[in-house]
Amino acid sequence: MPELPEVETVKNILLPVVKGRKIIKIDVLRSSIIEGDINEFVSNLQGETFNDITRIGKYMIFHLTNNKVMLSHLRMEGKYYEFIENEENSKYARVVFHFDNGHKLCYDDSRTFGILKLLSEENYMQDEMIAKLGPEPFVINDVSSLMKKTKKLRKPIKSTLLDQTLMTGLGNIYVDEVLFACKIHPLTPACLISKKEWEAIVENAKAILNNAIQAGGSTIKSYHPGKDIDGNFQTRLKVYGKAGEMCAACKSREYRFIKVGGRGTTFCPNCQKKKGAPITVAITGKIASGKSTATETFALKGYDTLSSDKVVSELYERKDVAHKIEQLLGIEFHQDKVDKAILRNHLLTHPKDKRKLERFVHPLVAKEIINFLDDSKSKIQVVEVPLLFESKLDSLFDVIIVIDISEEKQSELIAARDKDKALYLKEINKTNQIDKNKNKASYLISNNSNKNIFIKEINKVITELEGLAD
């Protein structure tokens, strides 16, 4: 969806096209675009001349003679194209304005979500779509009203900034950019944003929106501000659309992608730490890396913990789960529960079946994890998830702790475990995705020294998380 800078760019491109032009005729090719009576819209605007275009938030206001006003919102795919009269209309032309100079202006909208509405100079500011809009960042000099409106609001700051009734002009792209510039996690509750942080949000919003306007907005996917015109601000974006790339600020972590209120959101897990309880924590790492020790350290501090390995063990005790795995893999356990030795031996000789097993088991594990997180009252909720990235469960967690370990020490620890399982563990270890995903961690902790030093590092993380949760 075009945001404030894109709409400002469209307005600036359109103004010299329409200013001083008289409307000779209007063709309405898709009635749903017109808000209100279509005949009134056409009869009131035909014969009038455009004087100016202004903008409020993402709305363009066309000012015409005799105090007539046309309100326009582009929504997802709305565009304006100018043509000479004898040229064909644009492909998705919905409303066509014919001018006195032999030109025409097509309002083009492939998804037909945009609107045009007839108003007057006397009443357009009172129209419900305009009246409910909050101030633009450019006119905010005191953040007290923002703090007052959000002091009890537990909604994530990302969703709060997308609410145009609080402050208008920031859409999905620019909210991500502003929060990154402010080092604020998108899931931090709005009520926990300090005065200093609100001031940073407003100042960065002003700067980023102004820079985007100067660059002609951002051309993302199918959006272009005008015919054969691209915005250039997408080349200056720091975080939006860059999930998986290294953070431009800390250069030590990859940007993570999550959904916040259904909107795709990108942030740096190192630079942007979530404030406010509960904080959900995933602990992951290679086999024998020290995940269980880390989880136990949180438990000793009184925080709720869950082991996904334990969840799997409990699932394997279920008759329905055992029978389903038998059917999937074509094996027999000889009893109404999963025989782990039989399963391990089968996966060693049929490694491709590991993916079949995961596709069945991972959703069951995810359900139990979600139930745990929903039921827990702990301000820090910890889940040990060895296959965090393979199972795509990383999006459930605010914080990811990756335990890093050298191959030498890991081999030593694996060898010290049950010798019957050692070969299986080594094979499983070959397929883990920790190395290629560890830069997504909020905390990357090495376990290459002794246990006491390792636990000390975990306790440092716990102390920091406690400060963020309070």
**Quick one: 288 and 385 in the same domain?**
yes
pLDDT band per the 50, 70, 90 thresholds, residue 221: very low
What is the per-residue pLDDT for 223? 40
The CATH number linked to 217 is: 1.10.8.50
When pLDDT is averaged across residues 406-431 and rounded to a whole number, the result is: 67
Q: Domain for residue 434, yes or no?
A: yes
Residue 373 has pLDDT above 50, yes or no: yes
Q: 422, 264 in Cβ contact below 8 A? A: no
Q: Domain for residue 339, yes or no?
A: yes
**Quick one: 329 and 443 in the same domain?**
yes
Please give the model's pTM, rounded to 2 decimal places.
0.89
Q: Domain for residue 254, yes or no?
A: no
DSSP state of 289: S
**Quick one: 443 and 388 in the same domain?**
yes
When pLDDT is averaged across residues 443-468 and rounded to a whole number, the result is: 96
When pLDDT is averaged across residues 31-46 and rounded to a whole number, the result is: 98
The total number of structural domains that make up the chain: 3
**Quick one: 141 and 125 in the same domain?**
no
Residue corresponding to tokens 């820079």: 211
When pLDDT is averaged across residues 211-220 and rounded to a whole number, the result is: 70
The CATH number linked to 365 is: 3.40.50.300
The CATH number linked to 88 is: 3.20.190.10
Q: Tell me which H or E stretch contains 42.
A: helix 38-45
Q: Domain for residue 96, yes or no?
A: yes
Q: Domain for residue 432, yes or no?
A: yes
When pLDDT is averaged across residues 121-147 and rounded to a whole number, the result is: 96
- Pick the range with the lowest mean pLDDT from 17-26, 112-121, 221-230, 383-392: 221-230
**Quick one: 47 and 187 in the same domain?**
no
What is the per-residue pLDDT for 433? 82
What is the per-residue pLDDT for 18? 97
**Quick one: 119 and 204 in the same domain?**
no
Q: Domain for residue 272, yes or no?
A: no
Beta bridge partners of 394: none
What is the per-residue pLDDT for 263? 96
What is the per-residue pLDDT for 235? 67
What is the per-residue pLDDT for 428? 58
Other beta carbons within 10 Å of 293:
15
Question: How buried is 392 (Cβ within 10 angstroms: 0-12 exposed, 13-18 middle, 19+ buried)?
Answer: exposed
Residue 225 has pLDDT above 50, yes or no: no
Residue 329 lies in domain: 279-469
Higher local confidence (pLDDT), 232 or 266: 266
pLDDT band per the 50, 70, 90 thresholds, residue 220: very low
Distance (Å, whole) CA 61 – CA 2: 16
Q: 260, 156 in Cβ contact below 8 A? A: yes
Task: Show Cβ contacts of residue 150 under 8 Å, excluding neighbours closer than 6 positions.
Answer: 160, 166, 190, 191, 193
pLDDT in tens, 279-338: 999 999 988 899 999 999 999 999 999 999 999 999 999 999 999 999 999 999 988 999
Distance (Å, whole) CA 53 – CA 70: 9
**Quick one: 401 and 465 in the same domain?**
yes
**Quick one: 151 and 36 in the same domain?**
no
Q: What is the DSSP string of 150-196?
A: HTT--SBHHHHHH-TTTS-S--HHHHHHHHHHHT--TTSBGGG--HH
Domain endpoint, select from 129, 161, 176: 129
Percent share of the chain, pLDDT over 90:
82
Catalytic residues: 2-3, 58, 263
When pLDDT is averaged across residues 410-436 and rounded to a whole number, the result is: 68
Q: Domain for residue 273, yes or no?
A: no
Distance (Å, whole) CA 176 – CA 184: 10
pLDDT in tens, 383-409: 999 999 989 999 999 999 999 998 888
Domain endpoint, select from 129, 152, 187: 129
**Quick one: 106 and 145 in the same domain?**
no
What is the per-residue pLDDT for 427? 60
Distance (Å, whole) CA 314 – CA 395: 24
What is the per-residue pLDDT for 219? 46
Q: Domain for residue 207, yes or no?
A: yes
What is the per-residue pLDDT for 49? 98
Distance (Å, whole) CA 164 – CA 132: 8
**Quick one: 16 and 40 in the same domain?**
yes
pLDDT in tens, 348-363: 899 899 999 999 999 9
**Quick one: 28 and 122 in the same domain?**
yes
**Quick one: 344 and 295 in the same domain?**
yes
Domain endpoint, select from 106, 129, 152: 129
What is the per-residue pLDDT for 420? 60
Residue 231 has pLDDT above 60, yes or no: no
